[in-house]
């Protein structure tokens, strides 16, 4: 595998292994995004854990990542310099890894810096390329999707522990650490209901994503459609790319993390006239912040406390609010029981691959 990595490194420099996942708004309709139907699903299936794929991204997509993240990334897995100037002595480094959508990368960078400053440690943030980085000592704290967390948590010796999760701004979230998946189609398409998508093309961001993959399988299992509902299924690599594939007509539909969609509508207002939401899947436990289990308990508690303090800190709130984040709250394993139930249902139905 090392020779393959060396061969693929030049075209993927800065993005090898990027896990381009997920991202609030009160409701798509409040920002001029027409919603034709909104259902709350029952909790059900998921997918078997697998190592994140290495994505070969062309230069245009690399530039899109940079513009969304607001940073020039080094190689995947290599840390980005902290932007915080510490006034006290730096006792040690603390390494953060993001496995989530690039359009929130700037927020994750701020969170890492904030925690580092509170702890008197130099914060480093990298783009995560493997969940093994937690056990291997390469990553201390991670921004992670709920589905991989559930899959990691059922290992005999789980490599990560929950710290906290964000609260999103907006009535649809009800002050709880949850999020949704909004099913989007082109504004000029004839589709009005999820059932209208039978035989049509579908894009998902990544098979390790709850919002783009797991929750869609749950809808199909609940419909009894486990033998091939879609005519074509495409792995886009990120929610942002799924959105643009729908806009361009490359695919008919996709399920998008509600936070990612809100941030995209904020940054690209023209999208509001190009897309419409025909269904909403969820809610489910939102992507948590996790700590490597190997870390000392005192350090894990200090990171959690720093995260929980952000919502009451005016400086932090000024950065979080424009990205629709109220702050962070403590979460437990029970907050991800919905995702776990979906995973079990998918496996019991033998419906691991979306189709």
pLDDT of amino acid 37 = 44
Please check whether residue 54 lies inside any domain of the structure.
no
| 239 and 259 co-located in one domain | yes
Please check whether residue 353 lies inside any domain of the structure.
no
| 140 and 180 co-located in one domain | no
Q: What would the pLDDT profile of 64-100 be if each residue is shown by its tens digit?
A: 444 444 332 333 444 544 444 433 333 589 999 999 9
Supply the range of the domain harboring residue 206.
24-48+173-285+342-347
| 83 and 165 co-located in one domain | yes
Please check whether residue 75 lies inside any domain of the structure.
yes
The values of phi and psi at residue 37, to 5°, are: -160, 140
| 30 and 161 co-located in one domain | no
Contacts of residue 109, defined as CB under 8 A and 6 or more positions apart, other chains included, come to: 69, 70, 71, 80, 83, 125
Q: What residues are paired with 275 via a beta bridge?
A: 186
| 150 and 138 co-located in one domain | yes
50, 26, 306: which is closest to 182 by C-alpha?
Answer: 26
| 277 and 299 co-located in one domain | no
Contacts of residue 11, defined as CB under 8 A and 6 or more positions apart, other chains included, come to: 56, 57, 58
Rounded distance between C-alpha atoms, residue 262 and residue 268, angstroms: 10
| 191 and 268 co-located in one domain | yes
Tell me the CATH number at 36: 3.40.190.10
Please check whether residue 220 lies inside any domain of the structure.
yes
The top-scoring range by mean pLDDT among 8-17, 71-80, 128-137 is: 128-137
Token duo for residue 177: 């650490």
Please check whether residue 103 lies inside any domain of the structure.
yes
| 177 and 38 co-located in one domain | yes
Q: How many domains does the chain have?
A: 2
| 264 and 121 co-located in one domain | no
Please check whether residue 10 lies inside any domain of the structure.
no
| 95 and 160 co-located in one domain | yes
User: Has residue 302 got a pLDDT over 60?
Assistant: yes
Q: Is residue 206 a contact partner of residue 21, using CB atoms and an 8 Å limit?
A: yes
Rounded distance between C-alpha atoms, residue 316 and residue 306, angstroms: 11
| 63 and 164 co-located in one domain | yes
Rounded distance between C-alpha atoms, residue 167 and residue 178, angstroms: 7
Please check whether residue 312 lies inside any domain of the structure.
yes
Token duo for residue 316: 């932090």
| 152 and 117 co-located in one domain | yes
The values of phi and psi at residue 59, to 5°, are: -60, -35
Please check whether residue 3 lies inside any domain of the structure.
no
The pairing of strands 93-98 and 141-143 is: parallel
Find the angle CA(111)-CA(258)-CA(293) to the nearest 5 degrees. Answer: 45
Q: What would the pLDDT profile of 220-243 be if each residue is shown by its tens digit?
A: 999 999 999 999 999 999 999 999
For the whole model, what pTM was predicted?
Answer: 0.78
User: Has residue 104 got a pLDDT over 90?
Assistant: yes
User: Has residue 4 got a pLDDT over 60?
Assistant: no
pLDDT of amino acid 336 = 98
């Amino acid at each position: 595998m090392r020779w393959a990595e060396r061969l693929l490194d030049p075209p993927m420099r800065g993005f090898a292994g990027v896990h381009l996942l997920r991202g609030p708004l009160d409701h798509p309709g409040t920002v001029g995004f027409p919603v034709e139907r909104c259902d709350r699903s029952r909790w059900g299936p998921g997918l078997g854990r697998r190592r994140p794929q290495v994505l070969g991204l062309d230069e245009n997509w690399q530039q899109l990542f940079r513009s969304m993240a607001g940073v020039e990334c080094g190689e995947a897995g290599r840390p980005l310099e902290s932007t915080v100037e510490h006034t006290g002595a730096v006792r040690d480094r603390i390494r953060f890894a993001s496995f989530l959508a690039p359009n929130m990368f700037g927020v994750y960078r701020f969170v890492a810096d904030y925690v580092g400053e509170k702890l008197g440690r130099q914060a480093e943030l990298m783009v995560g390329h493997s969940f093994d980085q937690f056990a291997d000592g390469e990553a201390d704290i991670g921004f992670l999707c709920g589905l991989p967390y559930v899959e990691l948590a059922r290992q005999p010796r789980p490599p990560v522990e929950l710290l906290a999760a964000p609260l999103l701004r907006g009535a649809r979230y009800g002050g709880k650490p949850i999020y949704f998946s909004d099913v989007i189609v082109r504004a000029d398409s004839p589709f009005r209901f999820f059932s209208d998508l039978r035989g049509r093309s579908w894009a998902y961001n990544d098979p390790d994503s709850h919002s783009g993959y797991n929750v869609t399988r749950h809808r199909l299992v609940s419909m009894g459609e486990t033998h091939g509902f879609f005519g074509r299924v495409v792995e886009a690599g990120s929610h942002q790319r799924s959105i643009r594939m729908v806009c361009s007509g490359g695919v008919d539909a996709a399920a998008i993390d509600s936070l990612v969609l809100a941030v995209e509508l904020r940054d690209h207002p023209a999208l509001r006239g190009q897309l419409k939401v025909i269904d909403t899947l969820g809610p489910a436990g939102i992507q948590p912040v996790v700590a490597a289990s190997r870390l000392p308990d005192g350090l894990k508690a200090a990171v959690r406390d720093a995260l929980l303090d952000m919502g009451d800190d005016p400086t932090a709130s000024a950065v979080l609010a424009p990205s629709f984040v109220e702050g962070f709250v403590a979460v437990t394993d029970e907050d991800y029981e919905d995702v776990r139930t979906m995973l079990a249902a998918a496996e019991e139905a033998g419906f691991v691959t979306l189709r």
